Every structure is written in structure tokens, then in C-alpha cells.
Amino acid sequence: EPEVTQTPSHQVTQMGQEVILRCVPISNHLYFYWYRQILGQKVEFLVSFYNNEISEKSEIFDDQFSVERPDGSNFTLKIRSTKLEDSAMYFCASSEQGAWTGELFFGEGSRLTVL
């Protein structure tokens, strides 16, 4: 069964360092998302991406964050200068054509720990 894959599964970094989280969405999907979940809190939307551009982003997704689809298969989330409060589980998700139709499939997540 096709699935969304994410790497790394866990990354530990020092405050101020740049991190890149990688995702390979399901191959025929056209809509891509990043969500995050701080431990014990609800899953929060970060950004949606379609047709090589950001469709929508939340207040959390400030200038320190960026997304890219560099090669037609990978979908990356970059945090330029990490802060302690960026520690969270980051989920990539994808869905088939149609922003509001169809299911949203999540990857297993990348746990980011900022020290």
C-alpha cells in the first residue's frame, strides 16, 4: 500500500542550527502539507503546498520556515535557525487531486528535539 515516508525519524539539534526534514509523498498526490504536534498538544497546521507554491500557511510558519519540492518527489521543510519551542513531531501529509476531497495521508513523523 502506498505511504508517505519521512526522514529522519528523530533529529536532535542545537538551538540556532538549521534543520531539513524530508518527506516523500504518495506518488500520484498533488497536495502536500506539513503539520506539527508539540508533546501533549493538538496537531497544528503549518503549511499547504500545491503546484509548486504555498497555498496556505499558518501564523506558526514564519520567516524561519520554508518548504520546497526540489525534484518532483521529495517535499522538504527547512527551519533556518531552530528555537527550543520548535521541538515537536513534524508530520508530512499528502492528498490526491482536489484540496478538499479525498483522504489526507500522514507520514510516520519526524521528531525534532532542539537543545
Residues in contact with other proteins by the rule CB under 8 A: 31, 33, 35, 41-45, 48, 50, 55-56, 58, 89, 91, 95, 99-109
Residue in the structure block whose three cell numbers are 492528498: 95
Closest CB to other proteins among residues 18, 49: 49
Closest CB to other proteins among residues 31, 75: 31
84 Cα distance to chain centroid: 18
Q: Give the span between the Cα atoms of 36 and 31, in whole angstroms.
A: 17
Residue in the structure block whose three cell numbers are 503546498: 49
* Distance in Å, CB of 99 to other proteins, minimum: 3
DSSP 36: E
* Distance in Å, CB of 73 to other proteins, minimum: 19
Q: Are residues 16 and 59 in contact, defined by beta-carbon separation less than 8 angstroms?
A: no
The radius of gyration of the chain from alpha carbons, rounded to an integer in Å, stands at 13
* Distance in Å, CB of 75 to other proteins, minimum: 15
* Distance in Å, CB of 112 to other proteins, minimum: 14
Closest CB to other proteins among residues 71, 103: 103
